Structure 1
Amino acid sequence: MNDFATLDIALDPRGFATLWLNRPEKNNAFNAQMIRELIIALDQLQKDDSLRFLLLRGRGRHFSAGADLAWMQESANLDYNTNLGDARELGELMYNLAKFKAPTLAVVQGAAYGGALGLISCCDMAIGAEDAQFCLSEVKIGLAPAVISPFVVQAIGERHARRYALTAERFDGTRAREIGLLAECYPAADLEQHLEHWIVNLLLNSPQAMRVSKDLLREVADGELTPALRRYCENAIARIRVSAEGQEGLRAFLQKREPAWRGKPGTLSQTPQDLRAPQGESH
């Protein structure tokens, strides 16, 4: 892994990684360097087929306070094309996180403002502290949550997104759970304990099956029932049933024993190519 100035990557021997936003002295606020380093880090982690899942966290008191003030001041002096380049860089980060192959779980404490809601929304799941504070704050400073908006709408729905993007109201972890941004929220003092429960639960599952399920749900998307989607889903279950982990999981269930992936990380490894749709298969 690269040495990063704004991030830290911790690899757990159980087979998952934690990607830490690591500018606690700046409340983990974004700047151009952090965005670029996040893109590089996600690319490196994406290439690790043994990775079972990824946690996204912020060191210190806050998950992320949004955009760095100094960076915003610099942006105000840039021309349209340079600002467009910055926006495309942020877009690449959001899309890469949303399409990350392994499951992703954001863990939120303190403040999560502006673009931080984009990171949370791009993750498959998120948990946080009850007293965490969330805000789509862009309109307060004459901007709009443009790049992150597709992911925020997917996470909380258009109606909630309209309210919070237009009012810039702050809301807490309990409200974030009510509108779907967080899957669960907990007292701040208990967050680490509950996170461990999430980790243990994810470690029970077939790493391959979780990745395949992510691909499947991405294809299903809005649920339009087309013949192509039906064929894709039928092929997906057929492929995973004959895969190494699929066979092991079925045998373990029938034999009333633990499957091999609950032992050492990396057992029954299978390359993602083994589960891709055959060439020419309709999606």
Structure 2
Amino acid sequence: MDYQTLTLTITDRIGHITLNRPDLRNAFNEQSIAELALAFDELGRNELVRAIVLAANGPAFCAGADLNWMKKMAGYSDSENRADAMRLADMLRTIYTCPKPVVAKVQGDCYAGGMGLVAACDVVVAVDTANFCLSEVKLGLIPATISPYVIKAMGEQAARRYFLTAERFDAKEAHRIGFVHEIVPAADLDTKVAGIVQALANNSPNAVREAKKLVREIAGEPVTEALLEDTANRIAVIRASLEGREGVASFLEKRRPSWLD
């Protein structure tokens, strides 16, 4: 597909999706939402891709919703508003459930809906100069569509504060509350992300896919007999899988597993 709001490349088994509206601080509209959903679906289905990096061009990572799009939404009917919100919700779910691990490379400020994009990723690395803000209530809105992912990422207590105050907070605070995994100087951002991506690419593709699914489906569940049976079944199935057998055999035989060839 000929993407207009982002770029998509694959290099050394790593997919790169880069927001590319720097003049608009990578704010998204209906077109960029559709293109993000398509891009993640495309890379998620590509068997050659081991991991995906979500990045952005320009000084800002993502400023949230495009102002022109917001002006357009002001005239929407109730049904149009619901349909529009569901398109954003579906795009975020596509990132969150993508079978490939996704690393957010945050090179600049990340506001409102942009925080939803980041929260839907698996690993987040940000420059130490980045600022974050859930600014919706300043506009009389709420961060509803992004809330499932942002609350999972920063926790309920932090969400209580930042959803309600719309305060801007820095990368150090984002790291403290768990929204960001790593903060680094700008000069080290590429190296840090490359190291994480390489670690992901070195692992069993099937095991990484199933481990991502495991966290998504088990987190927050009560420890019941059904849960124990479910987890026991998961490890039994993966032990018997081709990559499971190959991984154990290569370890015992002190050789590279076949997925690295």
TM-score class normalised by the smaller sequence? over 0.9
Of stretches 181-190 and 47-56 in structure 1, the one that deviates more from structure 2 is 47-56
SS of 1:55 mapped into structure 2: strand
Secondary structure class of the residue paired with 1:63:
strand
1:169-204 deviation digits (Å, cap 9, x = unpaired)? 111111111111111110112111211211222222
2:22 corresponds in structure 1 to 24
Partner of 2:56: 58
1:75 & 1:69 partners in 2: Cα distance?
A: 10
Displacement, 1:223? 3.4
Report which stretch shifted further, 221-230 or 155-164.
Answer: 221-230
1:142 paired to 2:140 = yes
What is the letter of the counterpart of residue 108 of structure 1?
Answer: V
8 Å CA contact 1:219, 1:229 repeated in 2: no
Q: Which residue is 2:7 aligned to? A: 8
- CA deviation string 1:6-54 (max 9, x = no partner): 01111012x1201111111211101111011111222222222332111
Give the C-alpha shift of residue 101 in structure 1: 1.0
| Cross-structure match for 2:170 | 172
Instruction: After superposing the two structures, state which structure 1 stretch, 194-203 or 21-30, moved more.
Output: 194-203
Q: Deviations over 1:98-136 (max 9, x none)?
A: 111111111101110000100111111111101111100
Offset of residue 85 of structure 1: 1.2
For the 8 Å contact 2:119–2:150, the answer to whether it is kept is: yes
Within 2, Cα distance between the matches of 1:71 and 1:16? Answer: 32
Deviates more, 1:48-57 or 1:161-170: 48-57
Structure 1 runs of 4+ off > 4 angstroms?
none
Q: Distance in 2 between matches of 1:23 and 1:126?
A: 21
Q: Tell me, in whole angstroms, the C-alpha distance in 2 between the residues paired with 1:47 and 1:88.
A: 22
Identity of aligned residues (%): 44
Alignment partners' CA distance in 1, 2:179 and 2:125:
9
Q: Indicate the SS of the match to 1:4.
A: coil
- Structure 1 gaps of 5+ residues are 264-283
> Which aligned pairs between 1:72-83 and structure 2 lie closer than 5 A?
72-83=70-81
Q: Secondary structure at the match of 2:169?
A: strand
Deviation of 1:262 (Å): 2.3
Distance 2:108 2:140 in 1: 24
Corresponding residue SS for 1:20: strand
Residue equivalent to 2:40: 42
Counterpart residue identity of residue 157, structure 1: G
TM-score under structure 2 length normalisation: 0.96
- Does 2:132 align with 1:116? no
Alignment root-mean-square deviation, CA: 1.2
TM-score, with length taken from structure 1: 0.89
How many residues align? The count is 261
Equivalence for 2:214:
216
Inter-partner Cα distance in structure 2 for 1:181 and 1:158: 12
Q: Distance in 1 between matches of 2:129 and 2:57?
A: 17
Equivalent of residue 179 in structure 2, options 166, 181, 195: 181
2: distance between equivalents of 1:133 and 1:236? 40
